[in-house]
Amino acid sequence: MKKLFVVLVSLCIVTTTFGQKTKETILLEKRSEEFRDEIIKISDNVYVASGYDASNITMIEGEDGIILIDAGMIPAITSQIYKDFRRITQKPIKGIIITHGHGDHTNGISPFLGDEGVQIWAAENFGSENNFSKEGGFINPRQHHQSGMKLSPDKRINNGIAPSVYPGGSFKKSQLSSNGHLFIPFDKNKITNFVTKQVETITIAGITLELHRADGETSDHLVVWYPAKGILFPGDLYYKSFPNLYAIRGTAYRDVNKWIESLDMMLTFDAKTMAQGHTRPIVGASNVKTALTNYRDAIAHVFNTTIEGMNKGLTPDELVEYVSLPEHLKNDPNLVQYYGRIEWAVRNIYNGYLGWFDGNPTNLRPLSPKQEAEEMAELLGGVEEIEKIARKALKEKKCQWAAELSDRLLAIDNTNMSYRELKATALEQLALHVETAIARNYYNSVAQDLRKE
């Protein structure tokens, strides 16, 4: 039986890919061109370190010092960025502005703190989404799965809006810290200045910047506006991908309406250049306006159409089929679902407004997964029949169905390695057919875990 299973798995792999890469794999590989490491000069005194780390770091050169916007994630990588910035100027770092509290924008700060009196600016409610890096707790396994940090490089093409990076700068050096974290979280006590007003105007090293409180991916966002040069720094409120209105690692409700309001606010600046926290800068006033407008319109369309469907009584599963982007937005290369997915956004909006209950009373007190699996087994004539159907589904490239049936088998016996292998293979096949990098990471990470005894 085990030999037969191996044969069927091999058939699924061969017939799914026909010996070639899937179109989604090719798309993600091409996407990696966006993340080539480079110091990009976007003004006579503004430089963006793009493609080095999980997030971009910007250096603004002033009269007697420099300002950094964000600090990256991995000190081994930000040390190299620091050296490359030093090839441009030897002026001391006078200020660091943190756009929000996510670890990929903060945990790499240590190499930048050697100069005396560095001001560190952040929003008053910095770290409001604290489950992202909370010590211990439920979020860590899902964060590891989304990031794919435990996967080998051949399984991680990129993360959709940034290159795939590892602690220590390489996969072989990647180690979890003793408390189970991938990184040592940023110490909030390092912040010297908190933005308490809606707009704070600051001058450092002769450079005047406006720090605007904003909401969207997180509620602790700062949007930075450099009026003298017409440069906008939106943090993670814009990047070249359909946005992650819900993160599969787990988040509280991200207020979609407030995200739209933040984009409307950014459009009022009429920026000539935009240097976002992920993906390469956008240059040219018309290009910036188009990018922000389409991004805003895509989010608004998904939100409005979801609410429309909810008012018709549609369930989350039905809404996923109901909501899609109009053609002009669907064809925007900056709205490809490399990082966020429309169906995740739809489900999150529904849950944010109506909670988990879908209106079907059958779901008020459903059977447990084990009970449901046992009833299915009895209906079909035994657990062996579920397994048979799952393997047939795998052979016929119905890998989602194979994965769902595998869940029934595992609900009955989670230790059965044949069942675990079946699901792992189904997940790997699903990974090959999704262009959303973090979904691919999650599939492959769980598949890897399933194969552990």
Indicate the helix (H) or strand (E) that contains 143.
helix 139-147
| Average pLDDT value over all residues in the chain | 91
What pLDDT was estimated at residue 171? 58
**Domain assignments of the chain as residue spans, ordered by start:** 2-27+367-450, 36-288
In this prediction, residues 192-207 reach a mean pLDDT of 98
In this prediction, residues 78-103 reach a mean pLDDT of 97
What pLDDT was estimated at residue 96? 98
- In angstroms, the CA 49 to CA 35 distance is 10
**Other CB atoms within 10 Å distance of the CB of residue 358:** 18
What pLDDT was estimated at residue 283? 98
What pLDDT was estimated at residue 69? 98
What pLDDT was estimated at residue 170? 62
What pLDDT was estimated at residue 374? 97
- Same fold across 2-27+367-450 and 36-288: no
Q: 238-259 pLDDT, tens per residue? A: 999 999 999 999 888 999 999 9
Which 8-state DSSP code applies to residue 149? T
What pLDDT was estimated at residue 131? 53
CATH class of 2-27+367-450: mainly alpha
What pLDDT was estimated at residue 183? 59
What is residue 58's three-state secondary structure?
strand
Is residue 66 within 8 A of residue 91, CB to CB? The reply is yes
At residue 326 the predicted structure's pLDDT band, cuts being 50, 70 and 90, is: very high
Q: 2-43 pLDDT, tens per residue? A: 333 333 343 444 344 445 799 999 999 999 999 999 999 999
Indicate the helix (H) or strand (E) that contains 194.
strand 193-195
Query: What is 278-346 written as a DSSP string?
Result: SS--EESHHHHHHHHHHHHHHHHHHHHHHHHHHHTT--HHHHHHH----HHHHT-GGGSSSS--HHHHH
Whether the pLDDT of residue 70 is over 80: the answer is: yes
Whether the pLDDT of residue 181 is over 50: the answer is: no
What is residue 398's three-state secondary structure?
coil
What pLDDT was estimated at residue 19? 57
What pLDDT was estimated at residue 149? 87
What pLDDT was estimated at residue 247? 93
What pLDDT was estimated at residue 175? 46
Whether the pLDDT of residue 169 is over 70: the answer is: no
- In angstroms, the CA 74 to CA 174 distance is 11
Is residue 340 within 8 A of residue 239, CB to CB? The reply is no
Q: 138-158 pLDDT, tens per residue? A: 557 888 899 998 899 889 999
What superfamily does domain 36-288 belong to in CATH? Metallo-beta-lactamase domain (3.60.15.30)
In single-letter form, the type of residue at position 268 comes to T
What pLDDT was estimated at residue 2? 35
Residue whose tokens read 């939100």: 303
What pLDDT was estimated at residue 143? 86
232/5: higher pLDDT: 232
Whether the pLDDT of residue 305 is over 90: the answer is: yes
The closest alpha carbon to 253, from 145, 322, 339, 350, belongs to: 350
Whether the pLDDT of residue 182 is over 80: the answer is: no
In this prediction, residues 167-178 reach a mean pLDDT of 55
What pLDDT was estimated at residue 154? 87
What pLDDT was estimated at residue 378? 97
